[in-house]
Chain A
């Protein structure tokens, strides 16, 4: 069962002079186990869309269903784990332990079960157990980000919804969190991430939703997205697309440095072969 949005529209400050339309006529379907990237410029409506998934905002028109459930139901909220852009906004407990255990306890799991989940989630985000007794607000930005992610994972959600999960992390931290997300995804949870970090995310994404001025401008697989000529693209992919446009016979669907290297070297040998056979004639 998927998350389904049908004809969803949303405006802020409805019926005031400040009314701003954030989303218009959104139709979207997200299956379990998918890795979905939501792209778009600042103010396009990405974060608003995420808040519709778990009922933090309700659509003005249209419907949002999580596995057929209404988003305001308790069960729907358990199935969706959410991590916000500013991790500090969602931390409120006095220790990291309480923070991560809050969700499971709130949903009525036993203390023992909650503890198990805390340890499991902590390990998944690459934090060690000495952290458990620290005050979340004494942590660095990157550590807070991980604690926020752990508290979402502790609910073992079916859908993990993330708003810019790796901003503020250094390259090693980014890699670790991306590995965590990939693992979570491989275990069958859908990962839905708003991101601007195309270099890190692109190789992992299976589906891309591009939002432009509150509407879906493109929705489909990475390959579909490349074909539309939409931007943004990671630098490596832009390079390959440009090479193709300039007439080199490369495959533009390349997302990592390693693959780009192989592709460029392959094309070089093709060109060399052609030129030697031409001179042979």
Chain B
């Protein structure tokens, strides 16, 4: 679905942001990208729908090269990006108008636009905010509306740049569940985050440092990699606890570290059966 070949990019002031990135993302995959501030995660995201174009190498979205301007409308229809700060992507006076903007831009007929908006509101549970101005929403509600705005365009690949940063833990989990549901329906998901607690369900984790991919693999192997700490990343607390318990002779299987509930279940089984 998405292929990056030897992609390099430097910002105008000369700061190199990406260096020789090779990456292939399959249809329906859930790929998480993590790394320190300034490691190039967001720059990479902006390459995925042609908002930035590689200075070296190329980005191919289902056979279309992002450097080809005539292909951009097609690429943007396929790949939607949700940004960290929702205010940067509000355009409408009401939530409804805001959600209609994307589909309208894709030249859908009005009946279709209405369907898209209704669907996006239903999927995020935000019907009651339909006529509110996006500017009067709280930070977390804004993140939901920004998410709905992208859903309304029905892209096949969704790129999320730290979308749960302003959400309380419950809403964060809720957003993640909705994202997973979309992925199960066949959407491709690229998920950028600092919150490693969220990554249990990813198919693949990509760790970036100084514009390069330094580590790649399924969550279990990435979290077990000793170099993670030196890259300035900390383990989710339950996974750290499991790793430390293991050295004391208490082995918690990987699947059980996904939630406090399953973790507690496992410990009780280990401790109480004897």
Residues of A bordering B, CB below 8 Å: 12-13, 18, 20, 39-43, 46-47, 85-86, 88, 138, 140-143, 164, 167-174, 196, 198-199, 231-232, 234-236, 238-239, 241-243, 246-248, 257, 260-261, 264-265, 267-268, 271-272, 275
Contacts and interface: CB of A to CB of B under 8 A. Distances in A.
Contacts of A20: 136
B272 A264 contact: no
B32 to A, nearest CB: 15
A261 B267 CA distance: 12
Given A42-B140, A167-B166, A267-B271, A261 B264 contact: no
Given A196-B166, A234-B237, A247 B268 contact: yes
B38 A257 contact: no
Interface in B242-273: 244-245, 248, 250, 260-261, 263-265, 267-268, 271-272
Contacts of B234: 171
B260 A141 contact: no
A232 B144 CA distance: 19
Contacts of B271: 248, 267-268, 271
B241 A257 contact: yes
29 contacts: A41-B170, A43-B138, A86-B87, A88-B85, A141-B84, A170-B35, A170-B232, A171-B194, A171-B233, A171-B234, A172-B36, A174-B194, A196-B169, A196-B172, A198-B169, A231-B170, A234-B237, A235-B237, A235-B238, A236-B238, A239-B238, A239-B260, A239-B263, A243-B267, A246-B265, A248-B267, A264-B245, A265-B250, A267-B271
A275 B268 contact: no
B194 A261 contact: no
Contacts of A173: 36-37
B232 A264 contact: no
Most buried by B among A86, A88, A171, A246: A171
The secondary structure that dominates the A interface is helix
Contacts of B132: 18
Contact of A42 (B87, B138, B233): B138
Given A169-B37, A238-B260, A85 B139 contact: yes
Nearest to B274: A275
A41 B274 contact: no
Given A41-B140, A170-B35, A271-B271, A261 B261 contact: no
Listed residue (A13, A42, A141, A271) with the most chain B CB atoms within 10 angstroms of its CB:
A42
Contacts of B272: 247-248, 271
A264 B250 contact: yes
Nearest to B264: A242
Nearest to A256: B237
